[in-house]
Structure 1
Amino acid sequence: MKLIATYLVGVVFGVGIAISGMINPAKVLNFFDLFGTWDPSLIFVMGGALITTFIGYKLVFGRAAPVFAVEFLVPSARRIDARLVGGSAVFGIGWGIAGFCPGGALPALGTGRWEVFAFVAALLIGIFLAKFIQSRIAHSAAPVVSP
């Protein structure tokens, strides 16, 4: 049942991204072109997402426990650190250059455009590279235990 619920949430998200036009990178890039062909529609998409998220959080966290899990899995980190700022910067720069965010790129795979596949491939390479770097840093920072 959890898998079906996950699938349905993904379908709703993908349809919403497609209907809003956010699978079109030109639409997203025009949002960033303040002095050219500025398109404010992304503000309305984000506003709708913010309202939906606010209502969803109120409903979900009003429950004693999640439907398909034992407990709510909420991030515990509250600090703004270099990792958060760096990741946000990479995300924003990539979004501004490509016109795709990861969430919008996955539904856009259905368009069959090679640019979308190239973006998703670069995204996956970036994820694996970041994981590799993180594991190397963690490994080198681990204390050496001598017998």
Structure 2
Amino acid sequence: MIPVYPDSPTVVAATEAALAEVAELGDDASTDFAVRLLRNFLGLCENPRTRQHMLRMVRGSVGSARAGQAFYRVLNRSVVNPAAKATGFHASALRVELVCGQLVGLAMMRYVLQVEPVASTPADEIVRQFAPAIRATLQPS
């Protein structure tokens, strides 16, 4: 397996470019943490510049704790933290960890296992359908 270094200049630059593209899309729900989180995540997974790196990290995280930790760092730095900062969202560490698990599961189903209809559903529809589950996970009991 080819190692992926999430802090390499290539990965960081591609990640920043992908996030900038997602931010340019904007919408009325841009203050919604779940929507922003999913758009950032899907944007990184589907952007041609970052897709291979993201998918390599998703696949690698299955068989290696070290690769899983690297993927987790990328998720936090590139997806969760920017979405939280942009929306002013705060949640417990446990809830955020559970949401990250949901994102990893989504990536496995959509990009690695290519489970239908998840794999071929447009990203906007995935966001619309999946955002309520993210919100529910983040709600205090």
Larger radius of gyration: 1
Query: What range describes the TM-score normalised by the shorter chain of this pair?
Result: 0.3 to 0.5
TM (normalized to structure 1)? 0.33
